[in-house]
Structure 1
């Protein structure tokens, strides 16, 4: 089955596994190979974990790597993903997975958006509205 997958696809599957997303790794494998679900599951489970560190794409030069690392250091994950995608030509999903894995290895916490917090306050406000109207 590995003859149907590119090196980048195999690396993406490994990164999904390392991130604890085995189901997504199997889905990607099935999608990319056109094989059965059982074959994809067996392939994913047979994959060696691979190196613990990420390996940069072969088409990147030192300047591009520096730009990506600068974007990460600035806290701009989106910019880093965009730079990686544009520089390597890999898909958006693969670029995102790579940058997230790199950030994890560098010990950089991914900032969570405030949208969930805002939504929580909106829901809480709506829930207490009847209490306010009755008083």
Structure 2
């Protein structure tokens, strides 16, 4: 489900957020599907429940999940994801594209990759 890299400079709660976000975005966790409880996920990953709670809280603020008191946390509808997340991702996208262009990546290859992803393709290497 979620892989943690203890050598990564990214904090554990952010790795958990990224992993859960990826599961929701990819459809591996369906809309309204119940997520593991904080305690259950903390036990499975052998980490402090407060770390899981922080990741869940931030994912809820971003709109990826919602919580029902006494029931648990669930994957939200795509329409509920905060629009601010789009802006954040577009800024990251712009920076990445600028860097790829600086590194002499062909813009047609980038366009083709975007089109493949839009059709439901998966990530792949550029063959370099």
Per the normalisation by structure 1, the TM-score is 0.32
Per the normalisation by structure 2, the TM-score is 0.33
